Amino acid sequence: MQIVQTPNAPAAIGPYSQAMIANGMVFTSGQIALKPSGEMVEGDVKAQCTQVLANLKAVLEAAGSSLDKVVKTTIFLDNMDDFVAVNELYAAAFGNHKPARSTVAVKTLPKNALVEIDAIALI
């Protein structure tokens, strides 16, 4: 196993890695709307989701992967009413590539984020 670390995404805010590589796959930690500097993105779910997807892309690229090699994602939403807005940004980021996905509503996310996304991808 190999730890993935990149300055192009926010550092882990707890005892975990941005991602781990194992057996030709990368498993990302959940990405929230922190800028690489560690500041939380202000604004609505669209602004936050845009940063989340940028973070996810940066971590995947640091691992030698990319969004088009993602096999599975999980989206965590603070409010399921944001599903349509997040879905539009997600669809734009992934284009014609459509990985398997789960979307769940949760009571609270770290740093009171509105959206969090993790991924499993091929290297």
Residues of the chain with pLDDT > 70: what percent? Answer: 100
* CA gap 23, 10 in Å, rounded: 25
pTM of the entire predicted model: 0.96
pLDDT tens for residues 18-27?
999 999 999 9
pLDDT tens for residues 44-85?
999 999 999 999 999 999 999 999 999 999 999 999 999 999
* CA gap 32, 25 in Å, rounded: 21
* CA gap 64, 110 in Å, rounded: 27
Inter-axis angle of helices 83-94 and 45-62, nearest 10: 30
